């Protein structure tokens, strides 16, 4: 199972490299294509797992002016 993250930057916020470092420290990795980052669960994740991950992303990006969208399949 994987979660895909799309983010929108604001030029008044953190640099792209800083955001990437923060997300990679959570286990995301940057990708090319329709999404910006992917999180590979390595197992079947529950809806609760996905909600907890979204909360962690929120806390990690809080104050950076980044807007994000998370999709889990």
Which CATH number does the domain housing residue 60 bear? Answer: 3.30.70
User: What radius of gyration, in Å, describes the C-alpha atoms of the chain?
Assistant: 12
pLDDT tens for residues 9-52? 989 999 999 999 999 999 999 999 999 999 999 989 999 999 99
Distance CA 9, CA 72 (A): 21
**Domain of 27, in residue numbers:** 2-72
Name the pTM for this structure: 0.91
Q: Are 39 and 70 in contact (CB under 8 A)?
A: no
pLDDT tens for residues 14-25? 999 999 999 999
Into how many domains does the chain fold? 1
């Amino acid at each position: 199972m994987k979660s895909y993250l799309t983010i929108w930057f604001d030029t008044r916020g953190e640099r792209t490299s800083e955001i990437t470092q923060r997300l990679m420290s959570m286990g995301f990795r940057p990708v090319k294509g329709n999404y910006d980052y992917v999180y590979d669960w390595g197992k079947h994740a529950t809806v609760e797992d996905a909600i907890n991950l979204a909360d962690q992303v929120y806390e990690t990006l809080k104050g950076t002016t980044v807007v994000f969208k998370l999709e889990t399949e």
